[in-house]
Chain A
Amino acid sequence: MKVRGGVKMTRYEYGGDEFIFVELSEEMSLEVNFKAMAITNRLKEERLPGIIDICPSNSSYMIRFDPDRTHPNDLISKLRELEESVSSDDIEISSRVVDVPILFDDPWTHEALMRFRDRHQDPSSTDLEYAARINGFKSKEDLIKAITDFPFIVSMIGFVPGLPWCYQMVPREQQIEVPKYVRPRTYTPERAFGFGGAFAVIYPVQGAGGYQLFGIAAAPIFEKEQRNHDFKDSMTFPKQGDIFRYRSITMEEYEEIRKKVNDGTFRYLTKDITFSTKKVLEDPKAFSEDVLRRLYS
């Protein structure tokens, strides 16, 4: 964060002649993510001419605009106004809670991570064992419990279509943090569940990747054939602001879900939710319990 005379300064930057990038903070926090969401939600509602894309991200956001229809400086003035008008201490957010089944320690990501041990910080253990150790957990089971006990907010979408960056809704001292691979892998299985920095992700398609691999999602988050219910309107499932609850499943349940996905009959368990960011920040444990109650009742 740029601090000038004790005031935190947001950075407004040109991304060439077609983009504006706004960095609200250099560091990640739930507060700043909520603020980016509030500003970009307001901007969407305003339906200003010449705006092509509104991309909220973790602690920043980005706008793609048509400079033939709006001058970037006018747009920046507008964004500054919006920033001032949005209260950052309490924002009401409407989104979805989603049950996301994960098979941890699965054979597919295990095969991939063993193939690239020479690119890892600790070639002698698995990614789960390494992450558990450096985060002070007694075992990989304890790490999995920490991931599945509290929900995550989808704080940004991108990299490739549909990839959700997920930030756990817990106080900073409880956040899990892991480094990315020393050198990225050239292969990551489709639907791999990974962790890098303070973010959990699901890889939508097979490809390169540098996040620690913990497991595999049973259901897709990107489906170009658009066969299953959740993909009827869009090839990508996650939406910024979604709340994902990662649930540890058995191989048996994994296979049942895979069969449904292949038959085109899978559907995510989701519930609508409206929440106050103040309540989340004040009592994440109560919020988490509320989320689970809504989801599974």
Chain B
Amino acid sequence: MIKVITPGLQTTIQDNGRIGYYEVGMPPSGAMDKFSYIVGNLLVGNNENAAALEITYMGPTLEFQEDAIIALTGGEIPPKINGQSVPMWEALAVKAGDQLSFDFVKNGARVYLAVAGGFDVPLVMGSRSTYTLCGIGGLDGRQLQENDILKIGNENIRPAKIGARIDDSFIPQFSNQHEIRVVLGLCSYRLTEESKERFFSIDWIVSTEANRVGYRFRGERLNFVERKQPFGAGSNPSNVVDLGYPIGSIQVPDGIEPIALLNDAVTGGGYATIGTIISADLNKLAQVKTNESVRFVAVDIEEALSARKEIKDKINQIKQQLC
């Protein structure tokens, strides 16, 4: 068992997500940086869907009450065991009584803590992911609190090798300037040609509203093509007849600040969506912090698919290295 001494800013239990319930309005939740999350599980010998902790900006302090093997992956929030720095992207042995804590965030925004066996909480609609809005999944449907007790499960499928680490070339590098690839489309016909062009040519600044639900960006106003609003669409030019929102889709309510919808987002609504962040770059966006700058880059569907394949290939190579 693991005791939560301090919970950190926002630490939740996440896995690959609650897949297949979008139709009833249930967002998938799940780890936001899937690449780092999966590598963590591979390092400790877990099933790829085992539940891990997603740590945001400021890490928790955890006391291990039993021996365990853990791995820390994702952004750089430097971890320490009993006050001594320990490496990330490596399988580490932890003894009963050890305390895991973190320094201030250096790079990126989210760290994943995988433990051999995974975190043991009940499956809700096939997933252990926390969805705080409805209070389901994870530990009582909420982020961790002081004095919580976390149980270790039995989702390990291979013995973990202490000291195993992935090749440095696979470790993502994070900076303060990010390029995020987007497939333009959905209701992009609503934007003027000039605004479409501006969307891809300015630096957008991540606002303080940047969380698991979505990221809001500051930049400049975007304009919609003038029209008589269709029946049922609502009066604002950014309104459309309510429709489904893909994960990673971008909308611009009233043309003011673009919002990218992420893992815990609403599944539909009445704002025109103008494009979708490709799945490979959702991992990258998860490591972007407030006040950092993002440039959106237009790509076509084939490039989106090959970026996705690249990540899959990387994960397969890491698997071969480790197993």
In chain B between 232 and 286, which residues have their CB closer than 8 angstroms to a CB of chain A?
A: 232-235, 239-244, 246-249, 266-270, 273, 276-280
Q: Smallest distance from the beta carbon of A31 to chain B beta carbons, Å?
A: 12
Chain A nearest CB from B138 CB (Å) reads 13
Contacts of A52 in B (CB 8 A): 19-20, 22
- Say yes or no: is A29 at the interface (Cβ < 8 Å to chain B): yes
Q: Is the pair A19, B243 in contact by a Cβ cutoff of 8 Å?
A: no
State which of B25, B230, B280 has its C-beta within 8 Å of the C-beta of A157. B25
| B23 proximity list for chain A (CB < 8 A) | 53-56, 157, 240
A151 within 8 A of B: no
A161 within 8 A of B: yes
CB of A57 within 8 A of CB of B304, answer no
Say yes or no: A160 contacts B247, CB within 8 Å.
no
Residues of A within 8 A of B304 (CB): 14, 16-17
Complexed CA–CA distance, A234 and B277 (Å): 31
Complex Cα spacing A25 to B232, Å: 11
Query: With a CB–CB cut-off of 8 A, which chain A residues contact B233?
Result: 26-28, 197
Is there an interface contact between B25 and A62, defined as CB atoms closer than 8 Å?
Answer: no
- Residues in A neighbouring B280, C-beta threshold 8 A: 17
Is there a chain B Cβ closer than 8 Å to A246's Cβ?
Answer: no
Interface status of A59 (Cβ within 8 A of chain B): yes
Q: Mark A1-35, 1 if CB is under 8 A from B, else 0.
A: 11000000001011111110101011111000000
| A53 touching B22 in the complex, CB below 8 Å, given contacts A21-B243, A205-B134 | yes
Residue A236 at the chain B interface, CB threshold 8 Å: yes
Distance of A78 from chain B, by nearest CB (Å): 16
Which of A64-72, A135-143, A289-297 lies on the face that meets chain B?
A64-72
Specify which of A15, A18, A23, A29 lies most central, judged by the most chain B CB atoms within 10 Å of its CB. Answer: A15
Interface residue ranges, B against A (CB under 8 Å): 19-26, 125, 133-136, 141, 182-183, 185-187, 189, 230-235, 239-244, 246-249, 266-270, 273, 276-280, 301, 304-305, 307-308, 312
Q: Which of A11, A59, A68 contacts B232 (CB 8 A)?
A: A59
Contact assessment for A16 and B277 in the assembled complex, using a CB-CB cutoff below 8 Å:
yes
A197 is contacted by which of B20, B25, B232, B305 (Cβ under 8 Å)? Answer: B232
User: Quick check: A161 and B134 within 8 Å, CB to CB?
Assistant: yes
Judged by a CB distance under 8 angstroms, whether A162 is at the interface is yes
Instruction: Using known A-B contacts A26-B233, A53-B22, determine if residue A158 contacts B305 with beta carbons closer than 8 Å.
Output: no
Q: In the bound complex, how far is the Cα of B231 from the Cα of A28, in angstroms? A: 6
Residues of A within 8 A of B25 (CB): 157-163, 236
Determine which of B133, B141, B243 lies in contact with A57 in the assembled complex, contact meaning CB atoms within 8 Å.
B243
| Mask: chain A, 196-222; 1 = CB below 8 Å from B; 0 = not | 111100000101000000000000001
**A242 to B: closest C-beta gap in Å:** 12
- What CA separation (Å) do A240 and B248 show in the bound complex? 24
Query: Closest Cβ of chain A: how far from B280's Cβ, in Å?
Result: 8
Name 27 A/B residue pairs within 8 A (Cβ), A-sorted: A2-B189, A11-B189, A13-B187, A15-B276, A16-B248, A17-B301, A18-B246, A18-B279, A21-B244, A21-B246, A27-B241, A28-B241, A53-B20, A60-B243, A62-B243, A64-B246, A73-B301, A160-B25, A161-B134, A167-B232, A172-B231, A197-B234, A197-B242, A198-B231, A222-B134, A224-B135, A235-B136
Nearest B residue (CB) for A56: B23
10 closest A-B pairs by CB = A28-B232, A15-B246, A16-B276, A27-B230, A158-B268, A62-B244, A19-B246, A53-B22, A17-B304, A158-B25
Taken together as a complex, chains A and B put the C-alpha atoms of A13 and B189 apart, in Å, by 11
Known: A55-B244, A224-B136. A17 touches B305 (CB 8 A): yes
Bound together, the chains give a CA A29 to CA B268 distance in angstroms of 18
Residues of A within 8 A of B21 (CB): 53, 161
Assess whether A236 is in contact with B24, with CB atoms less than 8 Å apart.
Answer: yes
Q: Closest B-chain residue to A163, C-beta based?
A: B25
In the bound complex, how far is the Cα of B277 from the Cα of A92, in angstroms? 38
* CB–CB A17/B231 < 8 A: no
Given contacts A15-B276, A26-B241, A222-B134, contact A160 B266 (CB under 8 A): yes
CB-defined contacts of B305 to chain A, threshold 8 Å: 17, 67, 71-72
Of A1, A2, A158, the most chain B CB neighbours within 10 A belong to: A158
Closest to B269 in A: A159
Contact A72 B244 (CB under 8 A): no
- State the Cβ distance, A287 to closest chain B Cβ, in Å: 20
Complex: A235 Cα to B182 Cα, angstroms: 34
